[in-house]
Amino acid sequence: MSFKSNRTEIFIYGLSMALFIGLLKWLEARFIVLNYRLDFFIGAIAIAFTVLGIWIAHKLLKPKVETRIVEKEVYIDREYPEEINQKEIEKLGISKRELEVLILMAKGHSNDEIAEKLFVSVNTIKTHTSNIYLKLEVKRRTQAMEKAKRLNIIS
Amino acid sequence: MSFKSNRTEIFIYGLSMALFIGLLKWLEARFIVLNYRLDFFIGAIAIAFTVLGIWIAHKLLKPKVETRIVEKEVYIDREYPEEINQKEIEKLGISKRELEVLILMAKGHSNDEIAEKLFVSVNTIKTHTSNIYLKLEVKRRTQAMEKAKRLNIIS
DNA sequence: CGTTAAATCACTCAAAAGTATGAATGGAAT
DNA sequence: ATTCCATTCATACTTTTGAGTGATTTAACG
């Protein structure tokens, strides 16, 4: 259980305690309920202090912090378009060949055309594209194009 | 104050109450503390039930939730925000709806996703895309993306 | 009122793209 | 020397996309 350091609440609790003790003393001096309704009296105290406990717990308990991440769109006007790309490529672990494929892909070429240009089979291109999608964390070729351009890893 | 519907906790609380009453009865029968240390006895009960109250509050009360919003900056590229070529769109005869489809397409959405976003069927989207390809004089969606961006008809 | 363009949808067939898995090779790093 | 990785390729299967055709509805226009 963790508490906030709220002196006012602690003071109120202490004051309540003092008041209850005072009340008890007064009742004791008067001999009103002590003999006949001791059960009831103690029950009342129990209930009262239970409620007090609930109240102070409610007051003093640290609220659970729920962190909510809100995406804030920040528009940037790029002045140096060719600056970031190489770092991003390395960060994503995109290989030379994959980059070649990515560039041709972004120009709008089909897998067959890319395969022809690079003198390899379509299957190879498919493997490359799949790996590109994994590394770019996308599902489709269009998303790969979009993300690659946004990250400036292609022009 | 709102409670979770946890019967076990309520049962435990009731049991505690019963145990305390039983203890009280036993002490009363024995005449041990009632005369001498009544203050102490009642103080102990107060403290015990305060603790109990804190405990049940901790257990049963819905946790306070403090929402902390953390803004995560998402950088969005906006090189030439206002230079979208309206003339080119008109020249190519691309309609409003086709432009909507083209924009979503360029963001990397599949036909299914676009259909869902625009509340129409996939067949409709296919018709639109086909017409877009005709008007842009391209064969594939990747080429459409490339050409549309090159002509600045999309951002 | 008829024409026209835009938008809607369906259906079929075909091509392209993507998934999953396995495997061979050769170069670089340890 | 052996591990690691990039590159290559294959096969089988699924999903997505595209082509072609036809049809309905609605709103705008003269």
What pLDDT digit, counting tens, does each position of A12-46 carry? 555 666 665 666 666 666 555 556 556 666 677 67
Would the Cβ of B123 be found within 7 angstroms of any atom in strand C? yes
Query: Within the 78-137 window of chain A, which residues sit less than 8 Å (CB to CB) from chain B?
Result: 78, 81, 105-110
Mean pLDDT of the region A58-74:
52
Among A37-46, A78-87, B15-24, B97-106, the least confident range: B15-24
Instruction: Answer yes or no: do A61 and B57 touch at CB < 8 A.
Output: yes
Closest chain A residue to B72, measured at CA: A71
**Is the Cβ atom of B152 within 7 Å of strand C at any atom?**
no
**Cα-based angle A12, A18, A21 (whole degrees, multiple of 5):** 145
Name the residue among A1, A48, A50 with its Cβ closest to that of B58: A1
Nearest CA among A109, A111, A106 for reference residue A154:
A106
Distance from CA of B67 to the nearest CA of A (A): 5
Q: What percent of chain B has pLDDT over 70?
A: 47
Residues B12-33: what's their mean pLDDT?
Answer: 60
Cα separation, A103 vs A109, in Å, equals: 9
Closest to B57 in 3D by CA, of A45, A9, A52: A52
For B116, the 3-state DSSP assignment is helix
Count CB atoms within 10 A of the CB of residue A3: 14
B77: nearest CA in chain A?
A: A76
- Which residue in this structure is represented by tokens 């961006």? B149
**Predicted pLDDT of residue A127:** 95
SS3 of residue A32 by DSSP: coil
Whether nucleic acid strand D comes within 7 Å of the CB of A123, the answer is: yes
Global pTM? 0.57
Question: 3-state DSSP call for residue B112?
Answer: helix
Q: Which residue of B has its CA nearest to A58?
A: B57
| A126, A111 Cβ separation under 8 angstroms | yes
Nearest Cα neighbor of B142 from A121, A88, A114, A130 is A114
Residues making up chain B, counted from first to last: 155
B93 touches strand C (CB under 7 A): yes
- Check pLDDT > 60 for residue A62: no
Residue B75 DSSP label: E
The Cα A49–Cα B45 span in angstroms is 8
Which residue, among A48, A140, A5, has the nearest Cα to B114 in the 3D structure? A140
Q: From the CA of B130 to the C1' of C25: give the distance in Å.
A: 43
Q: Token pair of B155, please?
A: 């951002």
